[in-house]
Chain A
């Protein structure tokens, strides 16, 4: 158990819809990261927050957005969903901005 909690574990929705994925980092970790893993692909970095502020952006689509709240939990919002958005979305946390990452179990999104 990494201490990072992600909900929901599985989500099935239709094209054009909007979903929100939630992440609670390990206790004490200030940095939260979101990664996307499409079928048999590597981990693609989406976005990082540090103590509530956006720290770095990767290959995140404009239809996606995220935020980190004062209690340090984070949400990833995916809108106008397309079939190609079907993937595993991982949240990770770390103590500092460049420390080791601890991953949650992921949220599997299926867009039909």
Chain B
């Protein structure tokens, strides 16, 4: 039973364009969401987070949108750069219930020059 889903295993985008990575969750108790980026042979690195009290959080080229009613969040990268090519993991937790993070299966983003 996958509580966090990333239905696109891979995504290719042209350099300079927008990359949109999607994530869906099933547990309505989730109240805190993170995105991680992972390069080959490295550990995942934290990118951006959003709490359920917000519907948008921005950090430079990265923006995360949360739609609680749809149990959906998305990560927008604008403009996309070749260095953004990596696997992106969505993670969710029910912080108010002390629950650990649950990770999605990841989406491999390729930004083409």
Contact = CB atoms under 8 A, between A and B. Distances in A.
A92 B93 CA distance: 15
Give chain A's interface secondary structure class: loop
Interface centre among B34, B43, B91, B99 (most CB of A within 10 A): B43
A58 B100 contact: yes
A36 to B, nearest CB: 11
Nearest to A94: B101
Contact of A98 (B32, B45, B46, B106): B32
Given A43-B89, A97-B98, A102 B103 contact: no
Given A4-B43, A101-B46, A103-B45, 12 more contacts: A2-B45, A35-B103, A42-B105, A90-B43, A97-B98, A98-B99, A101-B34, A101-B101, A103-B43, A103-B44, A105-B43, A106-B43
13 contacts: A4-B43, A6-B43, A42-B89, A43-B44, A43-B89, A58-B100, A92-B43, A98-B93, A98-B100, A101-B34, A103-B44, A104-B43, A105-B41
